[in-house]
Amino acid sequence: MTEDAGPRRVCVVTGGVHGIGGAVSRRLAADGDRVVVVDLDESADVVGDVTDPSTVARLVEVVDGLGRLDVLVNNVGDFRPASKTFLDSTPGQWQRLYELNLGHVLSVTHALLPRMVAQGHGAIVNNSTVEAFRGIPGHAVYSGFNAAVSAFTKSLAVEVGRHGVRVNAIAPDLADTDQTPAAAMLRGRDPASVPLWVPLGRFGRPEDYAEVVAFLASDAARFVTGQTLPVDGGTLAASGWYAREDGKGWTNMPDHP
């Protein structure tokens, strides 16, 4: 599906080599799009730290060379550097969490949005997190900046809708990636316990998130803007409800017997 009826779409995916971003790049390329990948990994089209203004400048040059931009996926984000508690955290950590989770969403969007507005069409998909909507102790700063990503998504959508540009986001949970490997999420627990806390019964695969990003970037979502769609196997809906180990219903008690 294309956002317009024109030739091959040009898409930009930040952090588009590994994890969720990697699956998004592969999915869009499989759909026939020309995908410009920005990543620290040497295999990217634009190699560099997306929080560095010089990387963004090189990205703009590449997009200018291609002469169009249909889809921008602002995927980079990281809960590290993390502290045990907010009281243990430092202004240096807050600054890096800002750069990794919110700052580049603003700077990359600001640099590439003029082309979408001039074209009269475009789709932006940001990567937020369920923790923008559900409290996560120890990660208050990460959570706050991702809530800002979702608020930015909503407000910018209202602002640029008249130019034919849509802005949406996904809110992942429990993706089995380098950043949050399944083994780390299990912390030694029996994998058989996963269905007790994830309604759909398993961790996410990068492709699960890429499908939703591809939808939001496609013409199928042409009347959808300003939304953050949880892609989480149902954890946000459950919000603290767990299946009981004895199979007899559900519990919201902390020790979930």
Q: Which residues bind ligand NAD (CB under 6 A)?
A: 15, 17-22, 38-41, 49-51, 75-78, 100, 127, 129, 172-175, 177-180
Minimum distance from CB of 46 to ligand NAD (Å)?
9
Whole-number Å distance between alpha carbons of 56 and 59: 5
- Find out whether 92 and 140 touch, Cβ atoms under 8 Å: no
Other Cβ atoms closer than 10 A to 163: 15
* Residue 93: alpha-carbon gap to chain centroid: 21
142 catalytic per annotation: yes
Q: What is the four-CA torsion angle of 235, 238, 243, 244, rounded to 10 degrees?
A: 120
Between 75 and 89, whose beta carbon lies closer to ligand NAD? 75
Between 127 and 150, whose beta carbon lies closer to ligand NAD? 127
Minimum distance from CB of 21 to ligand NAD (Å)?
5
Whole-number Å distance between alpha carbons of 11 and 151: 23
Minimum distance from CB of 80 to ligand NAD (Å)?
9
Between 112 and 175, whose beta carbon lies closer to ligand NAD? 175
Q: Please identify which residue in the block is written with the tokens 């209202």.
A: 158
Structure tokens given for 181: 């490997």
Which of left, alpha, beta for 14 (phi over 0: left; psi -120 to 50: alpha)?
Answer: beta
Minimum distance from CB of 14 to ligand NAD (Å)?
6
Between 41 and 159, whose beta carbon lies closer to ligand NAD? 41
Of the candidates 98, 142, 209, 242, the residue annotated as catalytic is 142
Pairing verdict, β 242-243 and 250-251:
antiparallel
- Find out whether 224 and 168 touch, Cβ atoms under 8 Å: yes
Burial of 33 (0-12, 13-18, 19+ CB in 10 A): buried
Between 46 and 243, whose beta carbon lies closer to ligand NAD? 46
Minimum distance from CB of 53 to ligand NAD (Å)?
12
Please list the active-site residues.
Answer: 142
